[in-house]
Amino acid sequence: MDAPSAPHATTIVALTFDGGVVMAGDRRATMGPTIASREIEKVFPADEFSAVGIAGTAGLAVELVRLFQLELEHYEKIEGTLLSLDGKANRLATMIRSNLGLAMQGLAVVPLFCGFDLDRHRGRIFSYDITGGRYEEHEHHSVGSGSVFARGSLKKLWRPGLDVAGGVRVAVEALVDAADDDSATGGPDESRRIWPVVATVTEAGYVRVPDDDLARVVGDVTTARRAEHDRSRLARGGEQR
């Protein structure tokens, strides 16, 4: 299969907050210049205390996540305990490395992994390269086609001591900023009621944020940005719409 004909998942963000970590992904998949899907899900629970988000070749990435979930479940059943967060991150790195041959042909899988470390009692984030290199990220990170724009937003909006609600809002704003400048990233679609997939991981485990809550967050972000835009127009002497 020619690489451009395979659907590609795009932007994933993750950031820490006081008591855990939040991960969010947009819903758009692209094939070259074409929108292949507006409703693909890119954020998944790896197990009870971790999450994985996918960027890159969508089909391979989803299959990688399924195998990763299965391996973690198998380990827990055999050993009777959870694998440590570092152990999970290392195992995912090995799985990515095994895909190197396809990655060199343009079918790369670049996930973002995060979780709540039960030993250190805090959220942690791990990024990867196509060779399986594993890197711990501090405070926040993003991968995918819109990541350069999302990272700029995260640098501006993230602050120490965020609560869970603040973390969710920052994640949504970062995706909105990415969608503003990256055609392969889909912003929240209020007309179709398609929202990003957003999940939190805390000492209580993985929780997906309900769509109704996301609709309210998106509404608040839209209202705030519209007001800011109107103020900017007035300052330039333009007419307020």
Which residue in 10, 11, 57, 185 is the catalytic one?
A: 10
Which SS3 state, helix, strand or coil, does residue 34 take? strand
Distances (CA, A) of 75 to 47, 79, 80, 158, 189: 11, 6, 8, 35, 39
**Chain-centre distance for alpha carbon 46:** 13
CA 111 to CA 126: how far, in whole Å?
Answer: 9
Q: Which amino acid is at 190?
A: E
- Reduced to 3 states (helix: H, G, I; strand: E, B; else coil), residue 198 is strand
The two beta strands, 112-117 and 122-128, are: antiparallel
DSSP-derived 3-state class of residue 166: helix
DSSP state of 239: P
Per the annotation, the verdict on 10 as an active-site residue is yes
3-state secondary structure 21-47: EEEEECCCEEECCEEEECCCCCEEEEE
DSSP run (H or E) holding 217: helix 211-235
Cα 109 from chain centroid (whole Å): 14
Find the helix or strand (DSSP H, E) in which 167 lies. helix 164-181
- Residues designated catalytic: 10
